[in-house]
Amino acid sequence: MPVTKVYEARYIDAGELRALLSRLFPGQWVAAARLGRWVITTPRPLTKAEIDACTQKKG
């Protein structure tokens, strides 16, 4: 059953997020940025490490 989660969009890189989702869940995900947040539906929740991989690094 798909899982929908909301993540703070502030530091998430959209291109990195879409690439990750396509690699992990080809054709099985939906992601939309709304009101400063990403609403993501996937077959399973993303791990913290997966979200961190999409985070824009400061500096």
Neighbours of 2 (CB within 10 A): 11
The count of structural domains within the chain is: 1
pLDDT in tens, 9-53: 888 999 999 999 999 999 999 999 999 999 999 999 999 999 999
Contacts of 11 (CB under 8 A, 6+ apart): 55, 56
| pLDDT of 44 | 97
Q: Report if residue 42 sits inside a domain.
A: yes
| pLDDT of 10 | 82
In which order are the strands placed within the sheet that holds 30-34? 3-8, 37-42, 30-34
| pLDDT of 24 | 97
| pLDDT of 12 | 92
CA angle 16–59–49, rounded 5-degree value: 40
**pTM for this entry:** 0.87
Structural domain that includes position 33? 3-53
